[in-house]
Amino acid sequence: MIFGFTEAQISGFFLTYGVGAFILYMLFIIGQLAWESKAGRFGTFVLFLGLGVGFLGFVAKVVIQWWLEK
């Protein structure tokens, strides 16, 4: 037990919120990449679509887990 929390509670928290924060940071990186490369509207859309599809899977996993536990 660390600070009164079990290892499962800590890992569950950081798997949900830590990865969520990492996803937000990755969105910032994708936006910065589009800005610096002067990708334009369509290029920016392609960057966010191509690199952001994995984020949709993570969000879907969280929603499905929430729905099954409800």
pLDDT tens per residue across span 6-62: 888 888 888 888 888 888 898 899 999 899 999 899 999 998 888 778 788 888 888
Q: What is the model's pTM?
A: 0.65
The full DSSP string for the chain is -BTTB-HHHHHHHIIIIIHHHHHHHHHHHHHHHHHHTT-HHHHHHHHHHHHHHHHHHHHHHHHHHHHHH-
Domain ranges of the chain: 25-69
